[in-house]
Structure 1
């Protein structure tokens, strides 16, 4: 009997060995599949985060000096290193620590403005220097946002959100502690770093809250008159292609900018 059982035992042993190998193979397959899924999910997360960051800086709130990207705007070329001014930045003493009054005319719509040289001395000094040199005359307002944040961005000599005055500066000044930029606020756009301010600025036409996790945006002053006329003549028409962040449907140019 023992000799007759031997082939059966050997067959059962071979079967158990085969089954064990199959189980090991199956476990490896399951592990490989799991690892592939984890890798794909990780890639998706990385891409999503990268896209989110790009969307913030490109469509940005107003910030970026475009050539960099601000809220609303692209990034300045090249993006200045954090903690470094680039180029011949006007002295912060120009603002004299006082309030400056003037008129910003867009498509022949005059906006009364005030710039606060005490609250944002470097940014206001730069603006005064650019205004008095005639830098802004003839430049366009290239960006209008109509959903989530409500701003008109101007001051780029290239007209596409990538230009500036040939210098950049920082850091940010006079940032609202609560992130609220009331209607009428005038603030500087910037790129990814706090040292990427240039010539681009934005006008808030409806109360807007902007994220402060990257430092916020330098408030330089406010519109004192003409905002409703600007809404009727430019903003209410929306963007040229109907998207919530794009060029104004009504081409908008700075026809004059005076300060004193």
Structure 2
């Protein structure tokens, strides 16, 4: 039986191998573009431009995240490394059908969360297990949305929106029927339209937000912030780096204690 740390290392290796594969694909496509351009140099300029653009377009996983120039319409998480038989989501029974307290020590200040293991057992089981394994230690809250919805997104070991624990889970649990996520809500990020794409990324709502459900439903609400809302608001007030959704204030999770 492999340990959870071994599972994470296996998933990380799978992810790194996937990135290497993508780079090899892009390199082959660039070489193909050069060869094609030399052979077909006499063609019309429009055709040549089309070939170069088409050949250099990288293979990418689905990208539900809006670009930085567009208002964000929902929290999202890109697919992480492909789930494997060795990396399975924790059993929902780990949540013990009870309320948990999670204390996040961050570079911006402490956050205390109350997690509802009865209403969202799968999400709480995953969060608690990852926290106990030190998965969140050293990760940054990489995304701050300040238009239309108001959330700070955390839990990505890569800090890019691409990372995860090496597994994905569903279904969506405890989503609000009215699509309203009050300030203090703690919920799971996921890929748009995919209820089974939840992993380690979560978001903290710092101002009442309406996040419209998509074809998969709403977003799993698995807890609330009971201390540290002032920290979240200070991070939000500092804003984002121009042209990005990266918070100006560094919010690195130094450790998570659950009980």
Same fold (TM over 0.5): yes
Aligned to 2:142: 142
Aligned to 1:212: 213
Aligned to 1:230: 232
How far off is 1:71 after superposition?
3.0
User: Cα 1:77–1:229, aligned 2, differ >3 Å: closer, same or farther?
Assistant: closer
Structure 1 stretch displaced more, 209-218 or 197-206? 209-218
Structure 1 stretch displaced more, 70-79 or 180-189? 70-79
SS of equivalent to 1:173: coil
Render the CA deviation track for 1:217-241: whole Å, top value 9, x for unaligned.
Answer: 0001000011113322x22111111
SS of equivalent to 1:202: strand
Task: Give distance in 2, aligned partners of 1:111 and 1:87.
Answer: 29
- For structure 1, the residue ranges without an aligned partner over 5 or more in a row are 1-54, 61-69
Aligned to 1:127: 127
How far off is 1:250 after superposition?
1.4
Task: Give distance in 2, aligned partners of 1:153 and 1:259.
Answer: 19
Task: Give distance in 1, aligned partners of 2:161 and 2:93.
Answer: 28
Render the CA deviation track for 1:144-201: whole Å, top value 9, x for unaligned.
Answer: 0001000000000000000000100001000001000000000000113100000000
Root mean square deviation, CA, Å: 2.5
Aligned to 1:190: 190
Larger radius of gyration between Structure 1 and Structure 2: 1
Task: Give 1:108-123 correspondences, 5 Å limit.
Answer: 108-123=108-123
> TM-score scaled by structure 2?
0.69
User: Cα 1:241–1:182, aligned 2, differ >3 Å: closer, same or farther?
Assistant: same
Task: Give distance in 2, aligned partners of 1:87 and 1:71.
Answer: 27
SS of equivalent to 2:169: coil
Render the CA deviation track for 1:59-88: whole Å, top value 9, x for unaligned.
Answer: 39xxxxxxxxx93234214688xxxx9941
How far off is 1:213 after superposition?
2.8
Aligned to 1:251: 250
User: Following TM superposition, where does structure 1 have runs of at least 4 consecutive aligned residues deviating by more than 3 angstroms?
Assistant: 77-80
Equivalent of residue 75 in structure 1, options 56, 74, 78 = 78
Aligned to 1:199: 200
How far off is 1:130 after superposition?
0.3
Task: Give distance in 2, aligned partners of 1:118 and 1:257.
Answer: 21
> TM-score scaled by structure 1?
0.68
1:184 and 1:205 in contact (8 A); partners too = yes
